Amino acid sequence: MAKPTVALVGRPNVGKSTIFNKLVGKKISIIEDIPGVTRDRIYGNVSFNNYNYHLIDTGGIDIANEDFNKEIKIQVQIAIDEADIVLFVVDGIEGLTSNDYVVKDMLLRSQKKVIVVINKVDSKKSKDNLYDFYELGFDTYVNVSGEQNIGIYELQEEITKDFPVIEDVYDESVVKFSIIGRPNVGKSSLVNAILNEERSIVADIAGTTRDAIDTAFKYHKQDMVVIDTAGMRKKGRIYENVEKYSLLRSLKAIDRSDVCVIVIDASEGIIEHDKHIAGYAIEAGKGIVIAVNKWDLTDSSIKDFTKLIRNNFPFISYAPIVFVSALTKKRIHTLLPKVLKAFENSKKEIKTSVLNEVINEAYVLNLPPTYKGKRLKIYFSNQVSIKPPTFNIQVNSKGLIHFSYKRYLENKLRESFDFEGTPIVLNFKNKGEEEF
């Protein structure tokens, strides 16, 4: 079962981004006292009481700004379409406005579950306006103050109260991999080439794909599932041509994957959106393979294009790169072995004695610099989980860890053990600190 999706909508400056950050637990959205500053949808993952869901932040609808409002309304409509629950944020201090009624009409047409979130209730002025919001005609209202963290827990309870427990429908031995990337890079064509049959809808129109489709198959007796963001878009939804609107579907596919295949269009090169999509796969801790598709349409050499990728994606230097053509099926055979290897490496477990030997040797070979007369000491290391491989390293003081030394230790682990295709996580803790 897919992770539920929740969208924040409302007019400008009602505090959507502040509430977004409170729910996600970190500052992601831009917060500024300028209406319409959150122009693009922002995505986050929320965990609450053993429940998880996607959260989308959107720009504010303002009927006074026609040019700007047209794009915002498109974004908001997409967010509503994708959401299971919509949080309609209103301003308790200012009360109802004509913009609120525009949002209300969009939500009534959607027939989605709506929670009206009355923000800024910490102000005395808001008490005079509270009952006016019931004119909107929705069933559920929650009073909050995003700034003061009032009512956020109650809001979380209301959001998740009807959420089902999400269970994986596949056995742990099944390799689940997603084909992700911006529109029109050939994701569905690549799936068809892998399966060697036309199971996915393919068209030369960006945004043809709408919902994630799973296809189970066997590869050298290994059970595998390829997750493609495939399926026809609804007629007339021209806004799906815009690249950034594909991101949520990629997030949903990433969540359910062991390995993500990031598809890049060789004929167009690398653009910023490719990096955004890769960033979400990294944040989710998934194995990664980079597939350069349409390799038949470029005169570039593998050496030069590999260098281009490594320069643009320095944060996933561990990801293998394959060069393929879904159209001609050339080099398609190189992809699945890399996916399998990334999957196996993500489950790799290192013996504690061997791990400590490697870490201690790395420490002796390159002692960390002193800081204010103190030097980092490493006492003990052990692996605590897989998918991705995660290691706890016990030290004298976490404050002495510099990111460059952390990267040095990670590189030493990668030199000693084959972690191609998978991220690894190093957690440093002070001696005596409880396990986490």
- Do 180 and 281 form a contact (C-beta atoms < 8 A)? yes
Among 14, 155, 13, 10, CA closest to 91: 14
Give pLDDT, residue 236: 40
Percentage of the residues of the chain whose pLDDT score is greater than 90 = 52
| pLDDT for res 210 | 46
Which runs of consecutive H residues, i.e. helices, occur in 230-334?
Answer: 247-255, 272-283, 302-312
Residue 30's pLDDT is 40
Cα distances (angstroms) measured from residue 426 to each of 275, 413, 421: 23, 10, 17
Average model confidence (pLDDT) for the chain?
84
Higher pLDDT, 38 or 306: 306
pLDDT grade, residue 204 (50/70/90)? very low
Angle at 216 between CA 215 and CA 221, to 5 degrees: 145
Which amino acid does the sequence have at 252?
K
Q: Give residue 231's pLDDT band: very low, low, confident or very high (50, 70, 90).
A: very low
What per-residue confidence (pLDDT) applies to 238?
37
pLDDT reading at 341 higher than 90: yes
- Please name the residues in contact with 226: beta carbons below 8 A apart, sequence gap of 6 or more: 177, 178, 179, 191, 194, 195, 214, 215, 217
- pLDDT over 50 at 20, yes or no: yes
pLDDT > 60? residue 214:
yes
Q: Which helix (H) or strand (E) holds 244?
A: none
At 164-178, the pLDDT tens digits run: 776 667 888 999 999
As a whole number of angstroms, the distance between CA 342 and CA 416 comes to 16
| Count of residues making up the chain | 436
Helix or strand run (H / E) with residue 195 = helix 187-195
Predicted local distance difference test score (pLDDT) of residue 41: 44
CB 435 within 8 A of CB 416: no
Residue 230 confidence (pLDDT) above 80: no
| Average pLDDT for 78-88 | 88
- DSSP bridge partners of 225: 176, 216
Q: Encode pLDDT of 124-150 as tens digits.
A: 777 777 888 999 999 999 999 988 999
Can you spell out the DSSP letters for 376-417? --EEEEEEEETTTTEEEEEES-GGG--HHHHHHHHHHHHHHS
Of the candidates 308, 233, 235, 226, the one whose C-alpha atom is nearest the C-alpha of residue 265 is 308
Query: For residue 229, what pLDDT is reported?
Result: 66
Residue 313, pLDDT above cutoff 60: yes
pLDDT: is 241 or 194 the higher one?
194
| Burial of residue 198 (number of CB atoms within 10 Å: 0-12, 13-18, 19+) | exposed
pLDDT value of position 40: 46
* Interval 364-391 mean pLDDT: 93
DSSP assigned state of 155: H
Instruction: Specify which residues 380 forms β-bridges with.
Output: 394
* 19, 7 Cβ separation under 8 angstroms: no
Average pLDDT over residues 92-111: 90
Q: What angle do CA 380, 412, 423 make, to 5 degrees?
A: 90
Residue 283 tokens read as 């944040």
pLDDT of 413 > 90? The answer is yes
- By mean pLDDT, which of 98-102, 111-115, 240-244 is the weakest? 240-244
Q: How confident is the model at residue 242 (pLDDT cuts 50, 70, 90)?
A: very low
- 409-426 average pLDDT score: 96
More confident residue, 335 or 24: 335
For range 328-335, the mean pLDDT:
95
**What confidence tier does 383 reach under pLDDT thresholds 50, 70, 90?**
very high
pLDDT reading at 283 higher than 90: no
Task: Output the pLDDT for position 25.
Answer: 83
Which pTM was predicted?
0.74
